[in-house]
């Protein structure tokens, strides 16, 4: 058996699955990762992201499927033979070693010549901009600085793959943004193939070349940030990608530019995603930023209907507004109009921004995992 090859071209996960007792945490994951790609595994808590990462890392044996680096099967190799770098949310630094010695640790263990250890350690410390702190102990650093040490410790080994599990989740909002940029910058300069687990869609969209959206242990969609942002394949992905308004309506006849959807006193024309038969229950998804507001007096034309402002949240240039339609259904929108609770408004959305999905798409997950798809 050979070790994982640092110069691989593709890493393939084939029908990777993992069960815990009778529970399927991950089912039939097929994914091909190209060298240099940044892949984000995204999904709500418990969807199987960490399970997938741990299977890849060798920390968790698969219960089905296989993992290949080019034509070498690696899921049978122990974690330390795969040559992957890992960065977790709890930085797991050695508290009694300086930053420099923490970073050098893996190289020293490999018994590399001292001069090489020093050169590579100093390079990695410079990359994460910790030169001034190299002599300090982890306890003397901020959370963001400690996370940088953890990243330096992983990249100093020049791993063929870097695995990151929610590395920014313990940081405050400002540091998260800074570190996100830092991770992107490092990826651009080093081109290290990276698999990154997060439940934060914004983080995933801003960092990754491709995203894998998981739900109940099954892949829902794999695509570029733009694919997922503009063309979610089902309403679960839409929900996760920031389509905060999900209206449960019924499909009517085809219209010229879409499908008529009705219910709750609304009659809208929406863009059909997938096949929707007349009379079927649909979920119509629209993002808050795609809801257009005109103040009272605007006419109720196509896809325009009255609503009453309920809650207004100040968000700098925009207001995040929760409005109520006549039926009582709530609608979230972002607007630069200075609205106040109680205002009567007319809201609308263009056909191409209203996406109609079958309410119950045929789901592999319900069959494979025994998990009920919520109605
Ligand atoms: P989170 O974002 O909360 O970390 P996740 O998407 O990473 O969630 P996993 O940790 O992969 O989810 O867990 C997937 C499912 O498998 C969950 O339902 C979880 O309860 C279950 N699971 C994970 N690890 C174990 C374990 N060691 N034993 C039993 N069940 C487990």
Measured from the Cβ of residue 316, the count of other Cβ atoms closer than 10 Å reads 5
Among residues 121, 156, 116, 147, the alpha carbon closest in space to that of 135 is found at 121
* Whether residue 150 is found in the same domain as residue 273: no
* Whether residue 162 is found in the same domain as residue 273: no
Whether the CB of 85 sits within 6 Å of ligand 1: no
Measured from the Cβ of residue 297, the count of other Cβ atoms closer than 10 Å reads 8
pLDDT of residue 56: 95
Residue 336: inside a domain: yes
pLDDT of residue 158: 85
Whether the CB of 99 sits within 6 Å of ligand 1: no
* Whether residue 217 is found in the same domain as residue 288: no
* Whether residue 99 is found in the same domain as residue 147: yes
Q: Which atom of ligand 1 is nearest to the CA of 199?
A: 2
Domain that holds residue 103: 10-230
Whether the CB of 151 sits within 6 Å of ligand 1: no
Q: Angle between the 143-155 and 173-190 helix axes, to the nearest 10 degrees?
A: 20
Among residues 341, 323, 344, 342, the alpha carbon closest in space to that of 332 is found at 323
Residue 366: inside a domain: no
Residue 3: inside a domain: no
Residue 236: inside a domain: no
Whether the CB of 61 sits within 6 Å of ligand 1: no
Residue owning the nearest CA to atom 18 of ligand 1: 46
Is residue 56 within 8 Å of 49, Cβ to Cβ? no
The CATH number that applies at residue 198 is: 3.40.50.300
Its pTM stands at 0.86
* Whether residue 187 is found in the same domain as residue 271: no
* Whether residue 182 is found in the same domain as residue 287: no
Distance CA 218, CA 229 (A): 19
* Whether residue 159 is found in the same domain as residue 212: yes
Whether the CB of 199 sits within 6 Å of ligand 1: yes
* Whether residue 315 is found in the same domain as residue 182: no
Strand partners, 344: 308
* Whether residue 315 is found in the same domain as residue 249: yes
Whether the CB of 205 sits within 6 Å of ligand 1: no
Distance CA 41, CA 211 (A): 6
Residue 370: inside a domain: no
* Whether residue 44 is found in the same domain as residue 112: yes
Is residue 337 within 8 Å of 321, Cβ to Cβ? no
Q: Given ligand 1 and candidates 16, 51, 215, 217, which is best to mutate, with the most ligand atoms within 8 Å of its CB?
A: 51
Is residue 232 within 8 Å of 286, Cβ to Cβ? no
Measured from the Cβ of residue 109, the count of other Cβ atoms closer than 10 Å reads 9
Phi-psi region of 251 (alpha: psi -120 to 50; beta: other; left: phi over 0): beta
Residue 14: inside a domain: yes
Whether the CB of 45 sits within 6 Å of ligand 1: yes
Residue owning the nearest CA to atom 22 of ligand 1: 25
Q: Which atom of ligand 1 is nearest to the CA of 52?
A: 11
Number of domains in the chain: 2
Q: Show the DSSP H helices in the chain as ranges.
A: 49-57, 79-82, 99-109, 114-127, 143-155, 173-190, 201-207, 225-230, 235-240, 364-369
Residue 171: inside a domain: yes
Q: Which atom of ligand 1 is nearest to the CA of 48?
A: 11
pLDDT of residue 167: 86
- Decide which of 230, 251, 276 is a domain's last residue: 230
Residue 344: inside a domain: yes
pLDDT of residue 110: 86
Q: Given ligand 1 and candidates 25, 89, 201, which is best to mutate, with the most ligand atoms within 8 Å of its CB?
A: 25
Residue owning the nearest CA to atom 3 of ligand 1: 45
Is residue 351 within 8 Å of 258, Cβ to Cβ? yes
* Whether residue 299 is found in the same domain as residue 327: yes
Q: Given ligand 1 and candidates 46, 55, 212, which is best to mutate, with the most ligand atoms within 8 Å of its CB?
A: 46
**Mean pLDDT of each 10-residue bin along the chain, 375 residues long:** 64 96 95 96 93 94 96 92 84 89 91 92 90 95 89 89 89 84 88 93 94 96 94 94 94 88 91 92 95 68 87 93 93 94 93 92 41 36
Residue owning the nearest CA to atom 9 of ligand 1: 48
* Whether residue 110 is found in the same domain as residue 78: yes
The CATH number that applies at residue 265 is: 2.40.50.140
């Amino acid at each position: 058996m050979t070790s994982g090859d640092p110069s691989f071209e593709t890493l393939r996960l084939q029908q990777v699955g993992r069960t815990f007792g009778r529970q399927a945490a991950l089912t039939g994951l097929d994914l091909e990762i190209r060298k240099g790609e940044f892949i984000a595994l995204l999904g709500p808590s418990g969807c199987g992201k960490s399970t997938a990462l741990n299977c890849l890392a060798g920390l968790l044996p698969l219960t089905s499927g296989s993992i290949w680096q080019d034509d070498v099967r690696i899921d049978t190799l122990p974690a330390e033979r795969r040559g992957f770098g890992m960065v977790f949310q709890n930085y797991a630094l050695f508290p009694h070693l300086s930053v420099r010695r923490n970073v050098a640790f893996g190289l020293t263990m490999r018994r590399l010549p001292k001069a090489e250890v020093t050169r590579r350690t100093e390079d990695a410390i410079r990359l994460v901009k910790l030169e001034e702190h190299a002599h300090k102990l982890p306890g003397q650093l901020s959370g963001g600085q400690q996370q940088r040490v953890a990243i330096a410790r992983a990249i100093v080994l020049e791993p063929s793959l870097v695995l990151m599990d929610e590395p920014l989740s313990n940081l405050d909002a400002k540091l998260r943004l800074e570190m996100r940029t830092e991770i992107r910058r490092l990826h651009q300069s080093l081109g290290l193939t990276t698999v990154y687990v997060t439940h934060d869609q914004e983080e995933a969209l801003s960092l990754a070349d491709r995203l894998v959206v998981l739900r109940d242990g099954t892949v829902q969609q794999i695509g570029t940030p733009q694919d997922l942002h503009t063309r979610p394949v089902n309403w679960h992905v839409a929900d996760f990608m920031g389509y905060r308004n999900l209206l449960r309506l019924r499909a009517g006849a085809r219209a010229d530019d879409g499908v008529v959807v009705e219910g709750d006193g609304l009659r809208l024309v929406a863009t059909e995603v997938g096949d929707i038969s007349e009379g079927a229950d649909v979920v119509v998804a629209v993002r808050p930023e795609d809801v257009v507001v005109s103040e009272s007096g605007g006419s109720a034309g196509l896809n325009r209907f009255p609503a009453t402002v309920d809650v207004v949240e100040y968000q700098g240039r925009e207001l995040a507004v929760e409005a109520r339609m006549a039926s009582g259904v709530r609608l979230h929108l972002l607007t630069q109009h200075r609205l106040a609770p109680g205002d009567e408004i007319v809201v609308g959305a263009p056909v191409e921004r209203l996406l109609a999905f079958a309410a119950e798409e045929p789901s592999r997950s319900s069959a494979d995992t025994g998990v009920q798809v919520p109605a």
